[in-house]
Amino acid sequence: MQIRAIDHLVLTVRDIEATIRFYCDHLGMRHDAFAPGRHALHFGTQKLNLHPAGAGFEPRAQAPTPGAIDLCLLTDTPLADVIERLTRAGIPIEQGPVTRTGACNTLSSIYIRDPDGNLIEIANEHSQGHQ
Are residues 48 and 9 in contact, defined by beta-carbon separation less than 8 angstroms? yes
Q: What is the DSSP string of 36-88?
A: TTEEEEEETTEEEEEEETTSPPSS--SS--TT--EEEEE-SS-HHHHHHHHHH
Burial bucket for residue 25 (CB in 10 Å: 0-12, 13-18, 19+): exposed
How far apart (Å, rounded) are the C-alpha atoms in residues 45 and 36?
Answer: 23
Peptide bond into 97 cis (omega under 30): yes
- Spot the catalytic one: 58, 84, 94, 121: 121
How far apart (Å, rounded) are the C-alpha atoms in residues 41 and 26?
Answer: 12
Q: Is 94 a catalytic residue?
A: no
Active site residues: 121
